[in-house]
Amino acid sequence: MEAWPVYLLTGGIVGFLAGLLGIGGGLVMVPVLASIFIALDFPDDRVLHMALGTTTAIITLTSISSLRAHHARGAVNWWVVRYISPGIIVGALTGSTVASQLSNQILSVVLVFFISFAATQMWFNLKPGSSYALPGKIGMFAAGSVIGAISGLVSIGGGMLTVPFLVTCQTRLHHAIGTAAAVGFPVALASAAGYAANGLLQKQPLPDYSLGYIYLPALIMVALASMVTAPLGARTAHILPAALLRKVFAGLLYLLGIKLLLDFWN
């Protein structure tokens, strides 16, 4: 519990950035929580797994308010949500299970790859073109499986993958964002369930107040703080220049990626 001020600060920053830039906080939370758990002397070979599991649980809670807000504006395509979610769940459970079997070093490399990809996409403001129609039910299941597997592996809410997929399938951007917000809930819920179950199956003891690979004190405090600051970030987004914000955040992601490598490859 001595780390509670850091959890609150982390949640506040992540929530503000999520509201400011319209992104999930997974890529920020994982390296920050990993650093905190190292300082708290969590088991060396389970630190990154705990950070990933806790992050998915946090996203599960924070995604609910985002889902409700977009639904209220009529920006959620529930047909897509209905038929992509089964694949999402299967993929997310698979991705979180695979992550549970990997070493900290391998996981850190995978995470840094996705952090760098997201940072580069944001720095250059890369956007997909719209070239294809939405696939049928089988195609939606397949797309959901891929999105869920990657999201479960690296603890992202799915928006980084779902929005480009939907925009490529000729979905209007604000509907793609709203639908991705709705899809983010089953992504995070299935991933969190996978990390909790795989952590409970581990023979070595995990820290007190853990549910498998989910550390409950961090979950509660980070989630509460992020919910408070997300609306402030959304209001600030209408004041500050978007291009500058994207580059500042991209720079932050690059720095977090470098720190993550240093933490696990020294």
**Considering only 68-82, 172-186, 225-239, which range has the smallest mean pLDDT?**
225-239
Check pLDDT > 80 for residue 18. no
Whole-model pTM above 0.95? no
| Token pair in block for residue 213 | 């690979």
CB 138 within 8 A of CB 265: no
Task: Tell me the domain boundaries of the chain.
Answer: 4-265
Q: Name which of 218, 220, 224, 225 is nearest 51 in CA terms.
A: 218
Q: Where is pLDDT greater, at 143 or 3?
A: 143
Q: Which tokens in the block code for residue 72?
A: 């209220």
Q: Is the pLDDT of residue 1 over 60?
A: no
Give the residues across from 215 on adjacent strands.
210
Residue 120 pLDDT more than 90?
Answer: no
pLDDT of residue 27 exceeding 70: yes
pLDDT reported for residue 98: 94
Cα distance between residue 53 and residue 57, in whole Å:
6
* pLDDT surpassing 70 at residue 20: no
State whether the Cα torsion 264-54-215-94 is positive or negative: negative
Cβ-Cβ contacts under 8 Å for 210 (sequence gap 6 or more): 50, 199, 216
Instruction: Work out the average pLDDT over 151-164.
Output: 80
Q: What's the rounded Cα separation, in Å, for the pair 190 and 92?
A: 6
Which of these ranges, 13-22, 80-89, 217-226, 242-251, has the smallest mean pLDDT?
13-22
Nearest-angstrom CA–CA distance, 164 and 200: 35
R_g of the chain, CA atoms, integer Å:
17
pLDDT, average across residues 160-171 = 84
Across the range 238-256, mean pLDDT stands at 77
What is the per-residue pLDDT across 40-96, written as a single tens digit (0 to 9) for each? 999 888 999 999 999 999 988 877 877 777 788 788 899 999 999 999 999 999 999
Average pLDDT over residues 168-193: 86
Q: Is the pLDDT of residue 259 over 90?
A: no
| pLDDT mean over 225-247 | 75
pLDDT of residue 139: 94
Q: Supply the pLDDT for residue 204.
A: 81
